[in-house]
Each structure stands twice: as C-alpha cells, then as structure tokens.
Amino acid sequence: NAGVTQTPKFRVLKTGQSMTLLCAQDMNHEYMYWYRQDPGMGLRLIHYSVGEGTTAKGEVPDGYNVSRLKKQNFLLGLESAAPSQTSVYFCASTKPGRETQYFGPGTRLLVL
Amino acid sequence: DQQVKQNSPSLSVQEGRISILNCDYTNSMFDYFLWYKKYPAEGPTFLISISSIKDKNEDGRFTVFLNKSAKHLSLHIVPSQPGDSAVYFCAASPRVSQGNLIFGKGTKLSVKP
C-alpha cells in the first residue's frame, strides 16, 4: 500500500515548455486535489476532482489544466510554463465525507 | 483575504516544555479543523483534528482546543521533543464542501535539546 505517489520528484523546465505531473493513489479515494506550496504562502488549491471524469477549479487554477481519466490517477498539466509556476506541488486524496486528506511527497518544479 | 491565519511564522521551545501553536479563522461556515505536520522535502501528514461541536480533542502528547466565539484554535504539544521540529499547518473545512481545505501559512516549530 503506497498511499499517494507523485511523479516526477524534481523537474527543471524552461519558460514556455510543457509538462505533466502525475499523481496516483491506491486507497480507492474518490476525491483528489492538487496544491502548490510557495514560501510564506501555505498550501493553495489549484484544481480538484470529486470523481473519475470530473474536475473543478480551486483558488489558483490559471495556467494549469487537469484530467481524471482513471479513479486512481490525477494529472496536472502546464501547457506553457512560466517562472511564476516555480513551486512545490502536492497531490492529496480523500473519501467523501472525510475531511482528512492524505498527501503525496511532492514534486519540486523549477521554471527558468 | 486570508480565511485561516497563523500569525506566528516561527516558534522556538526547549525540549520537555509545552509548545502552543495558534490559528485564527474568519469564516463562520468552517465546521471542521485540522492540524498537519510537515518535514522538509516531505508531504504534509495529518496530526489531529476537531469538529466544531467540540472544544477539545486530545491524542497522546497533542491536544487541540477550539474557541468558536473567538474563532480561534490552538495546538498544544506536551512535552515537546526535538522530533516535533517541523512546520505545522492549520486547516479548516466549510460545512458544505467537497473535502476542500483552507490552509494557513504555517508555523515553523523548533524544539531545542
């Protein structure tokens, strides 16, 4: 039981490049979330999904897209990376009716 | 405007003493509160939570107190240990939500031997 895993752990991008961050969970959770953490800013919700095939915007969705084609996977895409997207990205999951979210180890992204 | 505020960016305490981390919130629709602990280069891990129908919840060395009238909660760690050194995030969940959590900016706790 791996819990929540994230791929890759670290990535360097040039401005304008695209990439996809992968989140996978093996806990059969319906709800999944993508957050970013910046120094002094706490965790801010980017997008979330309450089930396969559904996604919704969070607090800071601009510049990101997401897809939930399978229940266990939640993908975060950057179509054209910008230096402002340099951050640590965390994925989390939970079950409906449960407030406790389980987090992955994070992906550190540097956009030059 | 921040709905969940942790006004102390850092806190330093001596091993064996009590650590008190504070959190204030502004939204009266919040009805569930959580504390997460985060070590460097790791994801946040759930520590303890409290429902708005309670004013105290205890789990071993960790106790969370909720004062609804003041919209304030606190996390007490007694006794503090060097392994407790981490960033602590307060989070809140509104009554009608899809599991969404609103996080504070975090407080970095340092426990000195």
* pLDDT per residue as tens digits for the range A41-56: 889 999 999 999 999 9
CA distance B16 to chain A (A): 28
Using the beta-carbon criterion (under 8 Å), do A33 and B99 form an inter-chain contact? yes
The Cα-based distances of A30 to A26, A52, A57, A64 in angstroms read 11, 8, 17, 21
pLDDT at B97: 65
A60-83: pLDDT as tens digits:
999 999 999 999 999 999 999 999
More confident: B28 or A98:
B28
Using the beta-carbon criterion (under 8 Å), do B43 and A31 form an inter-chain contact? no
Predicted confidence band of residue A99 (pLDDT cuts 50, 70, 90): confident
pLDDT at B55: 96
Rounded distance between C-alpha atoms, residue B81 and residue A106, angstroms: 26
Q: How many CB atoms lie within 10 A of CB B11?
A: 16
Q: Which residues of B touch A58 (CB under 8 A)?
A: 100
B31-55: pLDDT as tens digits:
899 999 999 999 999 999 999 999 9
Low pLDDT (below 70) residues in chain B: 95-97
Residue B49: which of A50, A100, A102 has the nearest Cβ?
A100
pLDDT at B60: 97
pLDDT at B95: 67
CA atoms within 13 A on the CB side of A69: 3
> If we measure between CA atoms, which residue out of B37, B100, B103 comes closest to residue A41?
B103
pLDDT at A39: 86
Location of structure tokens 């030059």? A112
Burial B31-49 (b: 16+ CB within 10 A, else e): bbbbbbbbeeeebbebbbb
| Mean pLDDT calculated for residue range A94-111 | 92
Structure tokens at A4: 């929540």
Which residue is closest to B37 within chain A, CA to CA? A103
Which residue is closest to B1 within chain A, CA to CA? A59
Q: Which residues of A touch B100 (CB under 8 A)?
A: 33, 45, 48, 58
